[in-house]
Structure 1
Amino acid sequence: MGEEKKVIVFALGTEEYGVEVEKVRTIERMQPMTRVPKAPEFIKGVINLRGVVIPIIDLRSRFGLSELPTTDATRIIIVSAGDFEVGLIVDSANDVIDLDTDNIDNPPEIVGGIKAKYLDGIARVGEQRLLVLLNLEQVLDRNELQQLERIEE
C-alpha cells in the first residue's frame, strides 16, 4: 500500500476532479466579481476575500468546456498556485477523500477533452469511480501567472 493523499473532490459537469487538500485555502460560494480589462477569457475577474484581491478562473472555460449558469452548488475553490492564491470556479465541491497513491495512474494524453498537461494523474476510487487529479501549476502557464501578478498589484 502506498501513501495516503487527501484530496478535495469537485465536479465540472459529470466529471469528477481532485486537488490536494494542502493546496486548497478555502471553498467559497459564488460572489460578485470585478472584471479585469485585457485578461484572458477564462479569467472571470477578481474578488476581495478578507482583504486579499484574488483572481478568479472559470475552470470550464479554461478547459474548453461550455459555460453553464451558476447554481446554488457552484463554488469558488481558493488554491495556492505558485506564490499567490487564485480562485477556481467549479460546478460543485463534493467531498474530501483519502487516496492511496498506489491507485493513481499517469494520465492518458487526453481526458474528456482536457489536455494531459493539466493533469497529475487518474485515481481509481473503489470499483467504478475515477477521479482526475489536477496539476495546478499547469492549469496556469508562466505567462498567465505573470499577468495575474500584475492584476494583483
Structure 2
Amino acid sequence: MSEDLTHTDEEGNVQMVDVGDKPDTARRAVARGEIQLQPSTIQSVRDDDIGKGNVLATARVGAVQAVKHTWETIPMCHQIPITNVETDFDLREDRITLEVAVETTGKTGCEMEALEGVTSGLNVIWDMVKAAEKDEDGQYPETSIGEVRVVTKRKRSLQ
C-alpha cells in the first residue's frame, strides 16, 4: 500500500518526495476563497474606514508573505522559487472574494502556495475587520471564510 503513497516510504514513515530528476517547467496555479461579512463592514472596507488601516492593502501583503513562506508551514512542501504573485479582490454586498495566482519555474507545482495566499489573505481581512463584525456578545455570527479551492493549475515545458 505505501508504494502508492508518495509521502511515505516502505515502512510507512513520512518523507518528502524527491523531485530532483524532474525537469524544470513553468507553472501557474490560481486559488480563490471568500470571506462573508456584514454589508456595513464591506462598505467600511470600500470607504477605507476601518480603524486598523487599509484592509485590502494589508491583506495583499499578508497573502504574498504567506505564498513566500508556504514551505515553512506545510509539512513536506518544497521551497520553490516564486517568480510572480498576483492578488485580486472582488467586493460584493456581503462578501469579499480573494483570488491569488502564483507562478514559478521549477520541478514541482505551486498550488499549495496559492492556497496559502488565499487563506492567509482572508484571515488578515478577518483580523482587520473583527471589531466591526463582533456582535454584542463578542461573537462573529455572520463572519465566515469558505469556498477555498484551486481554480486552475497549469504547467508547460521550457523547451
* TM, length-normalised to structure 2: 0.26
* TM, length-normalised to structure 1: 0.26
Structure richer in helix, relative to its length: 2
Structure richer in strand, relative to its length: 1
